Structure 1
Amino acid sequence: MNKQNKKLKVSILTPNFSKGGIDRAYLLSQIFKKLNYEVEVLGFLFGKNIYPEPPSDLAIFCLPGCDYPQLFGSVRQILNKIDGDIICAVKPKPTSYGVALINKIRSHRPVILDIDDWELSWYGGDEWQYRPNLKQLARELLKKEGALRNPDHPLYLKWMESLINHADAITADTQFLLNRFGGIYIPNGKDTCLFDPQKYDPQISRQKYGLAEYRVLMFPGAPRPHKGLEDVLMALDQLQESDFRLVIVGGNPYDNYDEQLIERWGQWIIMLPQTSIEQMPEVVSAAHIVVVPQRDTSVARAQFPIKLMDGMAMAKPVLATRVGDIPEILNEVGYLVDPASPEQIAEQIKLIFQDLEAANEIGKKARDRCLEKYSVEKMASTMESVIANL
């Protein structure tokens, strides 16, 4: 990259400053900063609060999310704030990629579309169709709570997919997404200097977070049905070891699914509050095992669970399922079971705790792989070649 007197700037557009849009934006901001770009993240907040909180050195511009037609006015405000030399849109959604395409027409700035999920998979994927009669169409457009006023309506997501080829470059974080949309592979990764196990004593971390008396299976993310936490909890039912706990960090900002889990399996669950990015390594250090038990659904196959990297970077034994890219990522440096198999999960938990020292050695190998393939530095090297071809 040619050095210039003035730093070039990247404007990252996130569809949501809450879970489901912001994690990848923060990661991309680290990548661009490694390449010596000035970085800002802009977008909307559909939720109560920004989570995770942004790094203290990251410039953000956030507007409250809203429905159409009010959203058009907010988009105008966002457009007036975008001043990057390169625009990077996270997810092919109207509130990110749609804004980026409008800005491209206005300013001719190149657009990188980063895809970290198949958005239509939440609605049935290729099977989804919208065929309203005239009365239904009018109702869903004109009523205050009409479905078509929601910017995340699958009709708009489908339109955005049809415009993907208008991006100047595409990056994606799973083989599923590359096969479907093309582009360059940039997996999820971690700042391995921040997520450094040498900086923390696991026992002290467990004491700090009230976990000292437990054997801790940690899920450092938002529980959703496709993430398979029910299978872990059923495994704990089978094991009936009173000191096991599934520790869930941050809870679910989408619905009351975590409350449903607690209602049925509350004796095994500990909920930790929302945690800043800077604090997360200390929290993860308290785990004995990090669990990523994805179910085999189209939603899960399209995703690269970023929490895999939390465990790997912190040299933890990672127990995950053979779904999507996970087997390749964890090959010989983690513990793999079939999806939706509580019996296999229970057996692996037993094996890990029978020789925790050996499991921790496998965790160290997982960190080595993270350093080699999934560090911010490695991702930045790939992104540099993407930018060079713009």
Structure 2
Amino acid sequence: MKLTILSHDLSSNAAMRAHRLATAAATFAAVELIGPVEPEGIWPALPNESWIRPVPKTRFPQFMQSFLDLAEAADGDVLLAVKPHLASFGVALVAAERRSVPVVLDFDDLDLALAPRSDWNDNPAMTDLSRPGSAVYVSLLTKCAGAASAITVASKALQQRFGGTLIRHGCDTTRFDPALVDREQARLAFGFRGPTVLFPGAPRAHKGLDCLARAIQEIPDARLVVTCRPGDLADEEWKDLPLSRIPLVPYSSLPTLLAAAAVIAVPQLDTEAASYQTPMKIFEAMAMAKPIVTTTVGDLPAIVEGCGRLVAPGNADQLSSAILGLLGAPREAEALGERARTRCIREFSLENTAGQLTKIFRQVDPDNAFHYKRTDREAVCASGTVDVPVLVPPEILSDLALPFLSRALDPIEFRAELAGTSQSIIDEPAEVRSIHVLRYKPSRRCLIEYHLQSTGPDSRPFTLLGKVSARASSRKYDIQRAFWSAGFQDTSTDGISVPKPLGMIPHWHLWLQRKVSGSSATSLLEQHDAPALVARLADALTKIHLSGVATDRTHTLGDEIDTLHHRIGKVIARNPQRRSRLERILARCTELAAVIPESPLTGIHRDFYADQMIFNGERVYLLDFDLYAAGDPALDAGNFLGHLTEQSLRKWGHPDALSTCEHAFQERFLQRSPGSKEEAVQAYAVLTLVRHIFLGSQFRERLHYGDMLVDLCERRLELALRACRRTTHMSGALMPD
């Protein structure tokens, strides 16, 4: 099943709700998030995801082309439009009418309350029909809500107005985990000194920032920090108030920012707009176990009941007293934060959101939607019957090449296997909370995520990853275990690790490892310290090469060229008009292979790029050694660089956007790998770019830059050939007679 989510503006914070729903849905379906974007780019806090597909944000009449592009791109089995805007719900209705697919409309606030009809005469921009976001279009499309196959809402007030299913914003509680962040280091990183109160949302009129600033004035030495866009809070009225403006942080840095604060304040005012809205950041603050002060507006009292402090809206004295009370009682504040995280995991995790979405999609599209199976676990749970969500593609259960999958996906059977082999797989009793299929290749393999809860005195959630293959082999598990034993444990002094391998269930062709939480290296490439991070990845790569982990497989340069001929041949078969150019590229690749300087063989990863590394604080985890073989270490380095160049071209339209990262990685790798030559690394980087001609042809969202990629490959091949021939010539000249 594919889900297309439409956001009316990927350059504003409105995109965050769309991203949150997409992230939850990605646990059981292929997802794509599409929408208009300003020339300045997507919203700074929006994570860098491969499944985000922007189109230029324009006004009428140019917007007509953007509208058509969006309607063409909205090719999911189900369309989910966030907000009743022309670029989201309007596009979805047209695309759905053309293709006869269902549309789900999501309300996360009442846009009409933010642009009330009473203001239209005084503010002509609100009704400017050249703006796709005009209040006129929003008003009309709000009245068309009944055309949707289903409605989802983010608050009870919206539910009372529009009906539908209440789906809280939720939070990724594995990413937002206080155990992953050193608070003192976080405070140093943001320059926080003394008691710091964080206002984590966008500073808008109904959010009570003025009241909060007056409250902070009454607290000695307290500092109020607000995340802002360049133009926010720049007026004279804010200059004398005790607040500090900091730029919007990337999503990957948000856990660190929350950890650095002493108290999180969400002082919503009692306005119509606020009554319909539930601030998203409150769930992230709960997940980070932060003490929260908020107001008795909308759903906030129900959300933080028993795990936060509530005050009357607009009352600066109460707000000041509540904040001061938490700053003066750190143990009480810590206890509130711990209760907040417990509630967030139990009620507002992405797993809960995924389960709700799956039920809705099954209702609107029962033939295509992934199954949401509930299993009676009374036999294994002494406390009674507990429902366990199991999210599986419908075709899995009839896959004859993987007949054991149905058992691996059954909570009762999986729990029994854990109980029977607990000493070798997990070292504590646990209950299964949910099971998700993350990836599935029919007749070949399946990646499963098992969410568990330990049942000991220190009960806590944790996650296992299970890898199932059609072939019964322990090779991949043995390699992971060999790396773990070769100095890649969680406690390694260099901070370079692999996820802990836990054990096998041989009769299911299944092996298990701990899932590590953190941020993928890809999501960090746009941070200011990205060059230092990629240098760490070069250290990690050379540690692999020097590990001495044995393998019975070898991958040669000839194998690499054979793979390119096979894959580019497929592209030629589908695009005969490109035959002559692509055949010339293949010929030049063969010529290049003949002159690449060789290095002594070592164990190589063979799929080393930024998505395969997770940063958990200062520690980096290396993933997926399925292709591990003996080969040229320069291949791994070139593969990493080629992926960076391709990402630059795909996302920014030119190949040098991440050149600083490329230089930092290559410099560190060559320092650590004296047996490898720069010319070889660059040559393998070009071969990786050529491979992306095939990879790009497999994804519709990458077709737009195919010609640019072919042009780049042609230019880079010539440069690499000249460099390698020069090196070969010089080496030959130095050889003794």
Question: So what's the TM-score if we normalise by structure 1?
Answer: 0.88
* Residues 81 and 263 (structure 1), Cα distance of their counterparts in 2 relative to 1, 3 Å cut: same
In structure 1, how many angstroms separate the alpha carbons of the residues matched to 2:240 and 2:294? 20
In structure 1, how many angstroms separate the alpha carbons of the residues matched to 2:190 and 2:239? 23
Instruction: For residues 201-241 of structure 1, give each alpha carbon's deviation from its aligned partner in whole angstroms, at most 9, with x where no partner exists.
Output: 21110011111x221101122111111111111012223x1
2:93 paired with 1:113: no
Paired residues in the alignment total 363
2:147 paired with 1:166: yes
Q: Is the 2:72–2:95 Cα contact (8 Å) retained in structure 1?
A: no
Deviates more, 1:146-155 or 1:290-299: 146-155
Tell me the equivalent position of 1:220: 200
In structure 2, how many angstroms separate the alpha carbons of the residues matched to 1:24 and 1:198? 25
Tell me the equivalent position of 1:43: 35
Q: Is the 2:120–2:127 Cα contact (8 Å) retained in structure 1?
A: no
Cα offset, 1:129, TM superposition:
7.5
Alignment of structure 1 residues 95-174 onto 2, 5 Å: 95-124=87-116, 147-174=128-155
In structure 2, how many angstroms separate the alpha carbons of the residues matched to 1:337 and 1:261? 28
The correspondence for 2:342, drawn from 368, 371, 376, is 368
In structure 1, how many angstroms separate the alpha carbons of the residues matched to 2:248 and 2:56? 20
Structure 2 counterpart SS, 1:278 = helix
In structure 2, how many angstroms separate the alpha carbons of the residues matched to 1:295 and 1:199? 33
Query: What letter corresponds to residue 310 of structure 1 in structure 2?
Result: E
Q: Is the 1:14–1:89 Cα contact (8 Å) retained in structure 2?
A: yes
Alignment of structure 1 residues 49-88 onto 2, 5 Å: 49-88=41-80
Q: Alpha carbon RMSD of aligned pairs, Å?
A: 2.1
Which residues of structure 1 form unaligned runs of 5+? Answer: 1-7, 131-139
Tell me the equivalent position of 1:358: 332
Cα offset, 1:164, TM superposition:
0.5
Structure 2 counterpart SS, 1:259 = coil
Structure 2 counterpart SS, 1:155 = helix
Cα offset, 1:356, TM superposition:
1.2
Cα offset, 1:64, TM superposition:
2.2
In structure 1, how many angstroms separate the alpha carbons of the residues matched to 2:149 and 2:272? 27
Alignment of structure 1 residues 126-275 onto 2, 5 Å: 147-211=128-192, 213-239=193-219, 241-242=220-221, 244-249=222-227, 251-252=228-229, 256-260=231-235, 263-266=238-241, 268-275=242-249
The correspondence for 2:353, drawn from 364, 372, 379, is 379
Deviates more, 1:154-163 or 1:183-192: 154-163
Structure 1 counterpart SS, 2:293 = strand
Instruction: For residues 339-389 of structure 1, give each alpha carbon's deviation from its aligned partner in whole angstroms, at most 9, with x where no partner exists.
Output: 001010111112112211111111110111111111100111111111111
Query: What letter corresponds to residue 86 of structure 1 in structure 2?
Result: V
Query: What letter corresponds to residue 245 of structure 1 in structure 2?
Result: R
Ranked by relative contact order (alpha carbons within 8 Å, sequence separation 6 or more), the top structure is: 1
Cα offset, 1:124, TM superposition:
2.4
Tell me the equivalent position of 1:13: 6
Q: Is the 1:223–1:252 Cα contact (8 Å) retained in structure 2?
A: no
Structure 1 counterpart SS, 2:105 = strand
Structure 1 counterpart SS, 2:9 = coil
Structure 1 counterpart SS, 2:60 = coil
Query: What letter corresponds to residue 226 of structure 2 in structure 1?
Result: I
* Residues 356 and 47 (structure 1), Cα distance of their counterparts in 2 relative to 1, 3 Å cut: farther
Deviates more, 1:273-282 or 1:303-312: 273-282
Tell me the equivalent position of 1:316: 290
Q: Is the 2:104–2:150 Cα contact (8 Å) retained in structure 1?
A: yes
Tell me the equivalent position of 1:89: 81
Which residues of structure 2 form unaligned runs of 5+? Answer: 365-737
Cα offset, 1:53, TM superposition:
4.7
The correspondence for 2:312, drawn from 320, 338, 349, is 338
* Residues 294 and 146 (structure 1), Cα distance of their counterparts in 2 relative to 1, 3 Å cut: closer
* Residues 47 and 215 (structure 1), Cα distance of their counterparts in 2 relative to 1, 3 Å cut: farther
Query: What letter corresponds to residue 324 of structure 1 in structure 2?
Result: G
Cα offset, 1:19, TM superposition:
2.4
Query: What letter corresponds to residue 158 of structure 1 in structure 2?
Result: S
Query: What letter corresponds to residue 312 of structure 1 in structure 2?
Result: M
Tell me the equivalent position of 1:326: 300
Instruction: For residues 107-153 of structure 1, give each alpha carbon's deviation from its aligned partner in whole angstroms, at most 9, with x where no partner exists.
Output: 1111111110101001226x6778xxxxxxxxx89xxx982211222
In structure 2, how many angstroms separate the alpha carbons of the residues matched to 1:221 and 1:272? 12
Q: Is the 2:201–2:279 Cα contact (8 Å) retained in structure 1?
A: no
Tell me the equivalent position of 2:591: none
In structure 2, how many angstroms separate the alpha carbons of the residues matched to 1:120 and 1:53? 25
Larger radius of gyration: 2
Instruction: For residues 179-208 of structure 1, give each alpha carbon's deviation from its aligned partner in whole angstroms, at most 9, with x where no partner exists.
Output: 111100101110000000111121110011
